[in-house]
Structure 1
Amino acid sequence: MQDLPPGSAKSLDAKPHRSLFERLTALISPEPENRAELLEVLQDAHERNLIDADALSMIEGVFQVSDLAARDIMVPRSQMDSIDISKPIETWMPDVLTTAHSRFPAVEGERDKVIGILLAKDLLRYYAEESFDVRDMLRPAVFIPESKRLNVLLRDFRANRNHMAIVVDEYGGVAGLITIEDVLEQIVGDIEDEYDFDEAEDNILSIKDGANGARWRVKALTEITQFNEELDTHFSDHDADTLGGMVANHLGRVPRKGDSVDIDGVRFEVLRADARQVHVLLVEKLPSAFAADAS
């Protein structure tokens, strides 16, 4: 019997033998050529229990981060919790204690004049020192355009060890703010800690107007009754209790990121979803809906 070359047995053992069917399948099944095809392969792998739902969700989240910009997930200017250092510290300290954020944009007189970022932990010195100047405690503020991609922003956050950025519009005005936690949540889902509040009023956030006018970023778990009350709509909650359930019913499947559906004059676009459910929706009333409301 002829001896095999050195290392041959090891290499044969390392590569399992494939059946004829598997080899033929590899020849006729093309590799994914774009992102959509790759996601289909991953979703098929999940359906065959090769990867679990959490893994698929995070992979999809990575793709979403490269598609979204700061304007898509920022906290709008109207929802920002800031401190006005032109006022005595006693006037805004109760708000700091109530909101319990770790960082606050520091403004001087008006919201567009952000002069720095104040870390809540630095306020401990206010109680420990006789002389305390809040301006000396401010960290430099980072300003970014609304169009900045989240994957680039995340890289900058990591490189500069920064956790918050102020989003500005094309005219230099403050449009909102964004944190590293906001970006990471697009990948791993909602990050909740002991300071997060699950309040109903946080479910619907007004964001910058779009081509059709007012827009809202809405949690998919928002109850339809609450949505109807706040946006003056008349959706039925007979078949579903939440907006995410209503959108899934209309699509006939679990919604995916980028899906869009028009229901009774209102457009629902899926901003974030995983293999199991939709998480965040972009909502806007279509012109026909405004005309119906006016009549």
Structure 2
Amino acid sequence: VGAIGVGAQATSIWGASIISTAVVPVIMTLAILILSEIIPKTIGANYWKELAGFTVSSLKIIMWILAPLVFISQLITKALKKDKKASVLSRADFGAMAELGSQQGVFDEGESNILRNLLRFNTIFAKNVMTPRTVMIAADQQTTIRAFHDQHPHLRFSRIPVYESSQDHITGYVLKDEVLKKLVDNNGDEPLSTIKREVLAVKEDFPIPDLFNHFTEKREHIAMVVDEFGGTAGLVTMEDVIETLLGLEIVDEQDNTADMQALARKQWEVRARNIGLLEPDERLPEQQIDESSGRGDA
């Protein structure tokens, strides 16, 4: 409105000349840019502490004066809004802000990755992060503690599932520390069932956020993943959930395989070639590998 008024006044004074059609608009543009953009923002960036008190007081007065107008505007907006429950910001908007924040240096790359992973958290399920059954180490619960230790003298896992008759019937898990303690106490002839703990069980499509809450509520770090037929598909740990959130593999000095799912896929390809499902130079489709790697004995 102001620009239109200035243009009308310029035309009434100078007529339809170059001054009213070119010079005045250029001067107005520069004046608006300098007086309402550059100077105020520069002052605010350099003297924000000194101006903070005055700004807060001024805004309180302005908010009080404009409150009726804001109320009327909100009523009009609500009346014209189609979806009354629609959110102003979507997950995609937050993801874009995380990416923009990383580019502008507000977040470092790691923080930006965590924010984006958090926004995708509810689209990831237990089957996407589990250790497949084919590479899972488990033991018969009737095996003696000494025999189990002799079979796995350099075991790098702290929790080992135990089963009855087959890996499709996981009955619990044992702690490596308790296995070693029994050996130190000369109780190695006892079966693993004597130190067995209860284990959680979840379905393959169990969401990762719910799994995280499940772990924290139950104070557990491991759960068995069960397929649609009730068999064992694999196992998932709190570490897997944290890795998903951080977007990286947590590998300690004793781990020799970062991604257990990748190892399972590689082993399945070898077995598929051995039984004639694949040609020597052929690779199994990614989706079929994922579906097949969760079944069968390791």
TM class by smaller structure: 0.5 to 0.7
- Given that 2:95 and 2:119 are in contact with CA atoms closer than 8 Å, whether structure 1 keeps it comes out as no
2:163 is paired with a residue whose SS is strand
The aligned residue for residue 200 of structure 2 is 142
Q: What amino acid does structure 2 have at the position aligned with 1:100? A: R
Deviations 1:235-266 (A, max 9, x none): xxxxxxxxxxxxxxxxxxxxxxxxxxxxxx96
Deviation at 1:59, TM superposition (A): 0.8
Aligned length in residues: 199
Which SS does the other structure have where 1:86 is aligned?
coil
Consecutive unaligned residues of structure 1, counting only runs of 5 or more, are: 1-8, 18-30, 208-213, 216-228, 234-264, 267-282, 287-295
- Rg bigger for which structure? 2
Task: Give the superposition deviation at 1:146.
Answer: 0.8
The one-letter amino acid of 1:152's match is: D
Relative to structure 1, the CA distance from residue 125 to residue 141 in structure 2 (aligned partners, 3 Å threshold; closer, same or farther) is: same
* Structure 1 segments of 4+ aligned residues over 2 angstroms from their partners: 9-17, 85-92, 94-99, 128-134, 198-207, 229-233, 283-286
Asked if structure 1 preserves the Cα contact closer than 8 Å seen for 2:139 and 2:162, the reply is: yes
Identify the match of residue 69 of structure 1 among 125, 134, 137: 125
Which of 245, 249, 255 matches 1:190?
249
TM-score, with structure 1 as normaliser: 0.58
Q: Which residue does the alignment assign to 2:150?
A: 94
| Percent of aligned pairs with the same amino acid | 22
Aligned counterparts of 2:209 and 2:57: Cα–Cα separation in 1: 37
2:40 counterpart of 1:12: no
1:156 Cα deviation from its structure 2 partner: 1.2
Deviation at 1:133, TM superposition (A): 4.3
Indicate if the aligned counterparts of 1:77 and 1:177 stay in contact, CA closer than 8 A: yes
Matched, 1:127 2:186: no
How far apart in 1 are the matches of 2:88 and 2:251? 36
Name the SS for the 2:172 alignment partner: strand
Mapped to 2, the partners of 1:192 and 1:15 lie a distance apart of 54
1:44: Cα distance to partner? 1.6
Q: Distance in 1 between matches of 2:171 and 2:57?
A: 61
Structure richer in strand, relative to its length? 1
Q: Could you tell me which residue of structure 1 aligns to residue 95 of structure 2?
A: 39
Partner of 1:55: 111
C-alpha RMSD over aligned residues: 3.4
Asked if the contact 2:132/2:235 (under 8 Å) is kept, the reply is yes
Of structures 1 and 2, the one scoring higher in RCO (CA 8 A, sep 6+) is 2
TM-score (norm 2): 0.58
Describe the SS at the equivalent of 2:160: strand
User: Is contact 1:167-1:176 (8 Å) kept?
Assistant: yes
Aligned to 2:282: 232
1:157 is displaced (CA, Å) by 0.8
Structure 2 spans left out of the alignment, 5+ residues: 1-50, 60-86, 270-278, 290-298
1:200-279 aligned at under 5 Å gives the runs: 203-206=262-265, 232-233=282-283
What amino acid sits opposite 1:148 in the alignment? Answer: F
2:228 aligned with 1:178: no
Alpha-carbon distance between aligned partners in 2 of 1:16 and 1:52, rounded to the nearest angstrom: 36
Bigger fraction of residues in helix: 2
- Name the SS for the 1:166 alignment partner: strand
Give distance in 2, aligned partners of 1:99 and 1:140. 21
Structure 2 vs 1, CA of residues 16 and 179 (structure 1 numbering), >3 Å: closer, same or farther? farther
Give the CA deviation at 1:68: 0.3
Q: 1:185: how far off? A: 0.2
- Distance change >3 Å, CA 32–CA 232, structure 1 → 2: farther
Q: Which moved more, 1:156-165 or 1:89-98?
A: 89-98
